[in-house]
Amino acid sequence: MQTLMSPMSSAPEAIQPVQPIQSASSSVIQRAVALPTRAARTHTAVARALLGGVMLQIFFAGLAIFGVSSFLPHAILGPLIILGSLALPIIAWRGRLDAALHHRSWLVFGLMIVQGLLIDGSRLMPLIGAFHPLNAMLLALLVASMARLTPDR
């Protein structure tokens, strides 16, 4: 804070503080650096947890492919991740987050459902099962892009 002395007096008692100028742009700056909402922080945390779950699914699949274990851990964790992915669009909707983020949250949930259907479809036609790992990679990229965003979006 700056101080000015009165021209009539040179005594220290005459020192008056200068008040900062309030402008319309200062309120805009304050809104631009506002803290993220609780819904945005929760959405990011859930996206990060889902990303961890998808990475764990890929790890379990790798263990089964190379004969270290069976596909049972992969099969058990899958429905839990699908159920957990439903939290993203619900949080985005209830928290009134950005529409693009809301749509991407529904896209993640939809791709999770497709992921399970690809396994069921491979029983009818084995070629359909080849899209299961491709969809998993797409899910990992999409969830990672949501998890790395700053909470204020």
**Domain assignment present for 38:** no
| Beta-carbon count within 10 A of 132 CB | 17
Domain total of the chain: 1
- 138 neighbors 107 (Cβ within 8 angstroms): no
134 conformational bin, left if phi > 0, alpha if psi -120 to 50, beta if neither: alpha
**Domain assignment present for 2:** no
Phi and psi at 39, nearest 5°, equal -65, -40
pLDDT above 90 covers a percentage of the chain that reads 71
- Check whether 153 has a pLDDT greater than 90: no
**Domain assignment present for 32:** no
User: 87: pLDDT confidence band, cut at 50, 70 and 90?
Assistant: very high
The mean of the pLDDT values for the chain is 84
**Domain assignment present for 15:** no
**Domain assignment present for 35:** no
**Domain assignment present for 39:** no
In terms of residue numbers, what domain contains 140?
Answer: 45-148
- Check whether 139 has a pLDDT greater than 80: yes
pTM for this structure? 0.73
**Domain assignment present for 153:** no
Q: Write out pLDDT tens, residues 27-64.
A: 555 555 556 789 999 999 999 999 999 999 999 999 99
**Domain assignment present for 76:** yes
